[in-house]
Chain A
Amino acid sequence: MGLFILRRLGVMLLTALCLTFIVFWLTNLYPNLEKLAKTQGNFRMSDEAVASYLDKNGYLQPMPIKFGQWLGVLPGWVHEADGVVTGRCFPADTPVEERSSYCGVLQGDWGVSTVFKDEVGTIVATRLALTGKLMFAVMLVMVPMALIVGVLAGMREGSKLDRSLSTFSIASTATPEYVSGVIFIAVFASSAFGLKWFKGSATSAMENATFENFTLPVITISLYGMGYIARMTRASMTEVMTAQYIRTARLKGVKFSDIVLKHALRNALIAPFTVIMLQFPWLLNGVVIVETLFNYKGFGWLLVQAASNNDIELLLAVSVVSVFVVLVTQLISDIGYVYLNPRIRIA
């Protein structure tokens, strides 16, 4: 088991390294750098001005060197022009002896965002906390609902209840967040239908989440993910319900509710566990859409801002975090699966 986790961690690290390099490479292509220079300077910059801006800020070095600097394994660039020394790792007016030469992720320095003019680390931390709040609420709604729907549908396969709940879960997987969000806002928050139960914007929920401003975003994300978990739960529940020990229990005359709750449920919940863990990366998609739609300035909103402004270091931090989430949830789901299911053994 220890060796298995160690190997998985190694592969994880390699994957993260490859992916960050891909992001790094894509954001550092010349047209993207040109766009960056023009958004930082002005949009009517000449080609020479763009090139000199990029050179002054160390963007024109070879790709592997820049990547090494970002990682912190190579010394940061130092540029000298007209007697003024600028560098990656220090502001212009730092005395010579206080200038550090290495500043990268390994040193805990994530760089500076060009859009927000702030430390990337702090920006990501604040936004991540806001999204964490949203995700927590989503999990609180989605998981119990999905499990209940799945178990109810799976306990009597082919019944009317099963048919209607299955159709409901198919419908919910067929409704992407931008469709359900739009419909929810139109029905529950617009003047056209006149219901106005909830708010169509979740901006105020960032400081103070209330039932009124937080319900719609949470429901919108939960609904799309819920159908899939519910279907997996149903499938595993129907399989368990046909097992021999369930039949034995029935023949002994155990009450049906006791069979479901005491005998079937525990075994039926192994498969949904992995599915729930693997749902996290999908949720990230939903988070980006919903945060854009409801104007909730969390991690997804940050991703959109970083990507559309080609804010290289912020975008790298965002992708590191999201790749990390994906890989860690995969690892947890693997370990959890082995842990929950004693029939599986990994050497």
Chain B
Amino acid sequence: MEELSWGSIIARMFMQLGPVWISLIVLFTISITYKRKLGLYGKLFDSTIGMIGFALVMFWVFVGIFGGPLDMLVTHDPLSQVSGMKNKVPGTPMRGAEEGEYAYFLLGGDNLARDVFSRLIKGAWIVVQIAPIATLFAFMVGITLGLPAGYYGGRLDTVLSFLANLILAFPVILLFYLLVTPEIVLTGIPNYMALFLFVFPLIFMCILLNSRYYTQPKIRTPLLIGVLGGLGWLYLSLVSTNGSVVATPTYSIPGLPSFLDLFDIDAGILVVFVSVVFVNSPTVFRIVRGLAMDIKTRDYVAAAQTRGEGPWYIMLWEILPNARGPLIVDFCLRIGYTTILLGTLGFFGLGLASESPDWGSTINAGRRLLALYPHAAIAPAVALLTLVLGLNLLADGLREESLRD
């Protein structure tokens, strides 16, 4: 068999990504048809920039979902090495392809003779999973601490702001190099940080519901028990591995027993996740604090105070909804920034295992042979670039549309 030309490589990739195109078209048709009923999300479809951004982001989200848990788009196993395919250029036919196997390496082979295209798609799933969740956790931490700091001010604000500035003054890479190492994982510090950082969504939901419904105990009590029970279970499953919360060679703190544990998180991924949340939350804190300080002078806050509402009700049900515009925009931008941070970690070979298909690690593996075989590093680099660009354009579109009303 002959090598494929660039035209047929693109055509074949287009075919291979079929389910993604179909989902994108369905999503866009539905959204554009009902855009007047969909609030801010619908308004996004009035701005070209926002639509392009949204399309880029959703493209990678669909690629991640179809390629990751559904295992559809990939042509080869992302980890298996195929003899004779080392550093082969894009479109090389597979040597000795058997019946039922895909006959080409669409984007070539990397320096360990693995299929670049399949790794790209598997990597998308890792990024699409970690980046938004980590950003969400960072927002929970930032909002839960930033609202009281901005609303109360005073000494609480001074202390929290000092801590936030302390973390912000740390060069990110130095922090990563100090935190994301196998030695630090051994000491159990990431587990303690996980215990601390992951509890914030729990606190947030608890205060949110309690401040709203505490005058109606009949609704509040079952609601709180249900929500806290569910979230608490998730929280305990998240932080405990093999029946212990912190396990070091010398001691361990018991956690949820294994039979109740819903899922385990690999120690390498946990430390990456925790440090990304840790780096992002001070910035969110500063934004939320600034917004809260601005909004607390408004008349509707004064009205709520006169009505005798509690401080947490005012913060979470008066200030927070009115700060949503800038927060949503920042959320999009921050997912992009988190993606960049994840790539940085991969680029320095920190945290994730070296055979992990995530884009940062793949760029790191490919950069050594960049002068001779650039395709292995360029494919993930372009993927990361388009995803982050999409998120930035999406944020820009959202900002424009939310400013309009």
Contact = CB atoms under 8 A, between A and B. Distances in A.
Given A18-B166, A29-B183, A185-B374, A322 B384 contact: no
Contact of B174 (A34, A183, A310, A318): A318
Which DSSP category, helix, strand, loop or mixed, fits chain A's interface?
A: helix
B363 A186 contact: no
B392 A285 contact: no
B373 A192 contact: yes
Interface in A26-54: 26-27, 29-32, 34-35
Interface string B160-184: 0010011001111110011101011
Interface in A179-215: 179, 182-183, 185-186, 189-193, 200
A182 B377 contact: yes
A310 B392 CA distance: 37
Given A35-B183, A176-B340, A15 B169 contact: yes
Contact of A289 (B170, B177, B347): B347
B131 interface: no
Given A176-B388, A178-B343, A182-B363, A303 B165 contact: no
Interface stretch (A109-117, A135-143, A167-175): A167-175
A23 B167 CA distance: 12
B372 interface: yes
A347 B37 CA distance: 51
Interface string A304-322: 1001101000000011001
B389 A170 contact: yes
Residue among B169, B363, B377, B385 facing the most chain A CB atoms (10 A cut-off): B169
A176 B343 contact: yes
B118 to A, nearest CB: 20
A179 B343 contact: yes
A185 B187 contact: no
A288 interface: yes
A179 B385 contact: yes
Given A174-B388, A285-B173, A192 B374 contact: yes
Given A178-B344, A322-B171, A326-B169, A26 B389 contact: no
Nearest to A231: B396
B371 A200 contact: yes
Given A178-B344, A190-B370, A200-B370, A307 B177 contact: yes
Interface string B314-342: 00000000000000000000001000100
Interface residues of A, number: 53
A190 B371 contact: yes
Given A30-B187, A308-B177, A323-B169, A182 B381 contact: yes
A183 B344 contact: no
Contacts, number: 139
B55 interface: no
A293 B344 CA distance: 12
B173 A327 contact: no
Given A182-B381, A307-B178, A326-B171, A31 B186 contact: yes
B344 A307 contact: no
Nearest to B339: A176
Contacts of B381: 178-179, 182-183
A34 B366 CA distance: 32
B379 to A, nearest CB: 10
B367 interface: yes
B336 to A, nearest CB: 7
Interface of B: 49, 162, 165-166, 169-174, 177-179, 181, 183-184, 186-187, 189, 336, 340, 343-344, 347-348, 360, 363, 366-367, 370-375, 377-378, 381-382, 384-385, 388-389, 391-393, 396
Given A31-B186, A190-B374, A292-B348, 13 more contacts: A18-B166, A23-B178, A170-B393, A170-B396, A173-B392, A174-B385, A175-B385, A182-B381, A189-B370, A281-B171, A288-B173, A310-B183, A326-B171
20 contacts: A15-B165, A22-B170, A23-B178, A26-B184, A29-B184, A174-B385, A174-B389, A178-B347, A183-B382, A186-B370, A186-B374, A281-B169, A281-B171, A285-B173, A288-B173, A289-B347, A303-B174, A307-B177, A308-B177, A323-B169
